[in-house]
Structure 1
């Protein structure tokens, strides 16, 4: 089962979540060394507390640990030796991305799909945001940027020579250019802000029949608009690069 399939399964299997007073009490992961592997014997229990699919949680932990593994009878098995601290960090990252509301901080959330975009919707405050899969390159960069006690590092230095920026660490260099005013103006024109009114062209139709417009890096959903319309809209809410509007 690939990551997208497990995410779909997680969305389908999410049960109804309790009220605002419900708080997470996540069990500590129970690692068990097994030769060249590390098992988490209570992964199913942790997923149940989070109201998420065990397979989805397992695959996220694999990516965070940078390893492969297998899910067997509610237990996660991961290639390599990992401490409880490693597993705690991976589970905390999962909770931040896929469980806790970024607005109110409560765990009363559901994973849903809107126009093929995975979203985290909060039943407590009504907020929602897209959820994204961390890239391996991002994890590798974080490891490269880590600083540890007792280690020695050389800080790269750079110098500007005839409008070129040269790095003494790796020898690379590049031209130094000043961002043009027209580029800055274009970025300002493409910006979308809540509470503002814009004129846009509807270029598509969403899964629920809403009109879809594009402005800069934003995709804007406009209920009641049809493809080909040029309309004035009012931005009600923005989540990531998704904006939700009404006809003005």
Structure 2
């Protein structure tokens, strides 16, 4: 379970990216967070694994009080939380398999990782993760030789290799074309449903969010303005989140037609 209680994040300079947030996300939920750039979407996601500390309020993740964790406690928390990035964050000069094995660092002895001598069990976990996103055939290809969609699938596999209870995806389709975006979202949806992993995704396009999310969280200027199923996200809800009327440019369908 993830529970924010009156949580606020204020950045240097006085920018309040999250304001008095009360939010509970249950285990196994597939949640999409939507809102304009600067609405607080990335702040919320990065608070979950401690990358962004709260200024005030509380945050509990998997029974841990995140605001009270020391260095060792934060390492333990992050070992349970996989992260998928907009920019993929792969090591281009090495193979796909070795990139995915980086998700096993918390489980492996330091000397093994320094020498690149992963155990058979770690390699098996990484291979299963690659197979789940249907890219096992690229295991020994250099990451630099992959397309954008393939690179993001490797990013998903790396997060899966951690064997996490939570996966955070920060704008995972922002640099992808519409068909590839749907592929990535389907993998994330399947992972949540089949493995019981809590998945939280930041998106801009509301139609993409409603197509896949169990639940949509709408943020505006760091404030929670919508929390409900995708079926409730009509034009009025969009206006409450984005502060203006919905247009064709706000949909993934329009981008696909361009």
Name the TM-score, length of structure 2 as normaliser.
0.28
* Greater fraction strand: 1
Structure with greater contact order relative to length (CA < 8 Å, sep ≥ 6): 2
* Greater fraction helix: 2
Name the TM-score, length of structure 1 as normaliser.
0.29
